[in-house]
Amino acid sequence: MDEYKVIEQKSPVFYEKYERKGELQHQTHYCPGCGHGVVHKLIAEAIADMGLQDRSIFVSPVGCSVFAYYYFDTGNVQAAHGRASAVATAVKRANPESLVISYQGDGDLAAIGTAEIIHAANRGEKISVFFVNNAIYGMTGGQMAPTTLVGQESTTSPWGRRPSNEGYPLHVAELLSTLEAPVYVERVSLHDNKNIMKARKAVRKALELQRDGAGFTFVEVLSPCPTIWKMTPQESRKWIEEKMLAVFPLGVYRDRKLAPVNDAVPQVTVNQLLELGGTREEAVVESATTEPHPDLRVNIAGFGGQGVLLLGQILAEMGMRAGREVSWLPSYGPEMRSGSAHCYVCLAKERVGSPLVEHPDVLVAMNEISLHKFAKQVGPHGTVLYNGAKLPAGFPPQQGMIYCVPASEIADKLGTTKATNMVMLGALLELTHTLPKESAFAVLKAKVRNQKLLMVDCQAIDEGMECLRQQRDAAFADAHKHEDQLAHSR
């Protein structure tokens, strides 16, 4: 028997094998007749033909299309609901040579992600966005999407979408083409083979424009969702043709080159920007020849106005001067004054993997609330520095060491409560011996213009160091006394 000639085969941009659990192994995640598989195929073929598989990064959203990462053998990033075009922005800016694809459904892009897509388009991010418009939330069982048609029933518009109550369908291609920056915006459809071929062309064009660095490209694809529409695949295609096309006219909404703008600003390094002097490399060499620095992860917590965030910034900047990899992650509520605030600071020899600090080496608790909230996160080898003469009554024993530093009182005696955070910084420096106090003075000198306040801050650091020294000596003496007593009693 003659061999069949293979005229069509799976794109090499798809994984050789799709992993699925149990009895689902022989089917894809997508329902029969769903448009996602078709759009996947068009994108995969285009990437393969362009020879850009190794440079492609796919950003999967939330929705049925999240499963894209099981199929595309490319770089894959999964974004929180609606954030795909923002994530794609970051991925592209960090990797300008890559081909970045933001793939999003209508719930994802046009409801929860409205702000992200508009601003990515308006900034002219050099990414390609494929917007799969099936006029409904597919994955979650058929809630109304911004693109749901007037009169169309959904679980959240059971009487059909009524403009008086739910507004009108959102025309995303039209909306984005009112902006200056996008270079290419087209709406295509999957309702018959002729249109699938047009969609194929549009997908290619968007990716080619991105490859050539042209600018923001956007293809909206009218796509069937037979399961949620409760139709057969054939009925779904017909429904697109008869109902959706009237509301979402197909066509090219934008296809133009951007006029060149000359608005580049001089590029400076972080060290130059922060007036740190020298390069990071020089600092690394210098720090390697001086003292060994252990990694340090700190949580500084208190209320807004106590200089919590500034203390973290100073520490991070000191780390940078010492050639460390650093991160500073602030967190505060809507009430910046008097509300709770904390920041995580990491000082490390290697690049910081995550700026989150779940179990700090040191917790600087500037007030009682922070002490109660965060002390339990400090491990047995960690230390708490508490701003107070003694611990609050009834405070439970902790795993790590606790030092009470009456920082507010010390700062008050120096003439200003504002220096409380600097007293705590002094205590922290004395405790950890990670960074020299001279470095703190240098950072402060660059930040504090008021000479009187600068002097008080430097004094506060010294006093904080002294306070911690005395406490540690006292704790050491106590521990010895306790050992001696034990030895005598044996």
Ligand X SMILES: Cc1ncc(C[n+]2csc(CCOP(=O)(O)OP(=O)(O)O)c2C)c(N)n1
- Residues forming contacts to ligand X in the complex (CB under 6 A) are 62-65, 81, 105-108, 132, 134, 137-140, 145
Considering only residues 109, 185, 225, 316, which one is a binding residue for ligand SF4 as defined by CB under 6 A? 225
To ligand X, the closest distance from the beta carbon of 65 in angstroms equals 5
Query: Phi and psi of 310, rounded to 5°?
Result: -65, -40
To ligand X, the closest distance from the beta carbon of 112 in angstroms equals 6
To ligand X, the closest distance from the beta carbon of 399 in angstroms equals 35
To ligand SF4, the closest distance from the beta carbon of 155 in angstroms equals 13
Residues of this chain, 228-267, that bind ligand SF4 according to CB under 6 A: 228
Query: Phi and psi of 188, rounded to 5°?
Result: -130, 175
**E strands in 32-98:** 56-60, 75-78
319 to 88, 276, 312: CA distances (angstroms): 31, 11, 11
In terms of Cα–Cα distance, which of 311, 298, 429, 292 is closest to 361? 298
Nearer to ligand X, 106 or 166 (CB): 106
**Is 61 in contact with 23 (CB distance < 8 Å)?**
no
Nearer to ligand SF4, 134 or 408 (CB): 134
Considering only residues 75, 138, 312, 360, which one is a binding residue for ligand SF4 as defined by CB under 6 A? 138
Considering only residues 47, 52, 64, 435, which one is a binding residue for ligand SF4 as defined by CB under 6 A? 64
82 touches ligand SF4 by CB under 6 A: no
**Is 119 in contact with 154 (CB distance < 8 Å)?**
no
Query: What is the bridge-based pairing of β-strands 75-78 and 217-222?
Result: unpaired
Helix and strand totals (H; E) in the chain = 18, 13
In terms of Cα–Cα distance, which of 101, 68, 105 is closest to 87? 101
Q: DSSP state, 169?
A: P
341 touches ligand SF4 by CB under 6 A: no
**Is 342 in contact with 298 (CB distance < 8 Å)?**
no
**Is 479 in contact with 486 (CB distance < 8 Å)?**
no
134 touches ligand SF4 by CB under 6 A: yes
Structural tokens at position 283: 């600092």
Report what 31 binds from ligand SF4, ligand X, none; CB cut-off 5-8 Å by kind.
Answer: ligand SF4
36 touches ligand SF4 by CB under 6 A: yes
Nearer to ligand SF4, 35 or 382 (CB): 35
To ligand SF4, the closest distance from the beta carbon of 135 in angstroms equals 10
To ligand X, the closest distance from the beta carbon of 136 in angstroms equals 6
30 touches ligand SF4 by CB under 6 A: yes
Q: By 3-state DSSP, what share of the chain in percent is helix, strand and coil, each rounded to 5? A: 45, 15, 40
Nearer to ligand SF4, 176 or 225 (CB): 225
Structural tokens at position 53: 């598989």
Report what 171 binds from ligand X, ligand SF4, none; CB cut-off 5-8 Å by kind.
Answer: none
Report what 227 binds from ligand X, ligand SF4, none; CB cut-off 5-8 Å by kind.
Answer: ligand SF4
The span from the CA of 488 to the CA of 261, in Å, is 84
Phi-psi region of 243 (alpha: psi -120 to 50; beta: other; left: phi over 0): alpha
To ligand X, the closest distance from the beta carbon of 110 in angstroms equals 8
To ligand SF4, the closest distance from the beta carbon of 63 in angstroms equals 8
Using only C-alpha atoms, what is the Rg of the chain? 30
The span from the CA of 39 to the CA of 30, in Å, is 12
To ligand SF4, the closest distance from the beta carbon of 199 in angstroms equals 16
Nearer to ligand X, 63 or 464 (CB): 63
Q: DSSP state, 143?
A: -
Phi-psi region of 10 (alpha: psi -120 to 50; beta: other; left: phi over 0): beta
**Is 240 in contact with 246 (CB distance < 8 Å)?**
no
The span from the CA of 66 to the CA of 29, in Å, is 10
Considering only residues 148, 152, 195, 227, which one is a binding residue for ligand SF4 as defined by CB under 6 A? 227
To ligand SF4, the closest distance from the beta carbon of 190 in angstroms equals 11
307 touches ligand SF4 by CB under 6 A: no
Nearer to ligand X, 156 or 279 (CB): 156
Query: Phi and psi of 391, rounded to 5°?
Result: -70, 150
Nearer to ligand X, 66 or 127 (CB): 66
Q: Which range, of 11-19, 173-181, 223-231, 379-387, touches ligand SF4 by CB under 6 A?
A: 223-231
Nearer to ligand SF4, 64 or 461 (CB): 64
Report what 62 binds from ligand X, ligand SF4, none; CB cut-off 5-8 Å by kind.
Answer: ligand X
421 touches ligand SF4 by CB under 6 A: no
Residues contributing to the site for ligand SF4 (CB under 6 A): 30-31, 34, 36, 64, 134, 138-139, 225-228
